[in-house]
Amino acid sequence: MSRSVASGVVPADLLPYIESDEEACKLVELIDWASLPRHIAIIMDGNGRWARHQGLPRVEGHRAGITAVREVVETAARAGIETLTLYAFSAENWKRPKEEIDALMELLKEYLSRELGTMLEHSIRFESIGRLDGLPEDVQEDVRNAIAATSANDGMRFIIALNYGGRTELVDAFRAALENVRSGELDPGDLDESWIAEHLYTAGVADPDLLIRTSGELRISNFMLYQIAYAEIWVTSRLWPDFRRADLLQSIVDFQKRERRYGSVGGETG
């Protein structure tokens, strides 16, 4: 079923999913399938503006955003991406009107109950990062159930950031370090980058290679501050509800044209 192109083998699972999408089919030919970004993280932005452009309440923008979430999760899983992280609710989003927060929580619950089948079908492992215990009890329960139901899956790791803040994540890691020093489990001299990485919410997950932000804003918004140190940033003016599989594939094509130097000199310069 899989098709050989100049730059590797297109995953068999992806072809039937994109065959009616001409733009996606063209992009698939441009991707080097042997060197995909291992971890793609997305700051989904622009739901409110999308709704305003349509003359709809903000909540309808979030509802339309779910369509984009479904498409991106399925495309990434079929394409063989190892980890996909979506920023769904930040620690700062509690400042929004109560009706909007309630609607977001409801949409998350609906999404989890409707999409569990897709996650199981594609062997997706669902996880969350953020202070889960700050969410309403029923949402926590649904999130924990989805994590448990998919924990034996060995396909793409799909992480949703909920009640997540990059700075609170660092605060939690610093607290863990102090606790460990106090209890004698950690010598301060042994505190290094790998210790910190292993005490972030993303312990055991490779850092994002590609960070996507929609709606054209050039901000990080307190997202994965430690982990994105060397991520390639790709910004599109597309509002999140309009983001489609072709946009994801385009971001991968562009990512593969970047030269990642990690602080060293370029291949040709040295």
Binding site for ligand FPP (CB under 6 A): 44-49, 62, 65-66, 69, 86, 88, 93, 104, 107-108, 111, 160, 240
Minimum CB distance to ligand FPP, residue 109 (Å): 9
56 φ, ψ (degrees, to nearest 5) = -115, 160
Q: Which of 13, 21, 32, 45 is catalytic?
A: 45
93 among known catalytic residues? yes
Residue 35 · residue 256 · CB < 8 Å: yes
Minimum CB distance to ligand FPP, residue 83 (Å): 15
Which CB atom, from 10 or from 42, has the smaller least distance to ligand FPP?
42
Which CB atom, from 163 or from 251, has the smaller least distance to ligand FPP?
163
Which CB atom, from 78 or from 238, has the smaller least distance to ligand FPP?
238
Q: In whole angstroms, give the CA distance from residue 198 to residue 207.
A: 11
State which residue has the least CB distance to ligand FPP: 48
* Token pair for 120: 């199981």
Which CB atom, from 33 or from 111, has the smaller least distance to ligand FPP?
111
Neighbouring C-beta atoms of residue 221, cutoff 10 Å = 13
Q: Which of 93, 145, 153, 180 is catalytic?
A: 93
Q: In whole angstroms, give the CA distance from residue 242 to residue 191.
A: 44
232 has which bridge partners? 210
Greatest alpha-carbon pair distance for the chain in Å reads 60
Catalytic residues: 45, 93
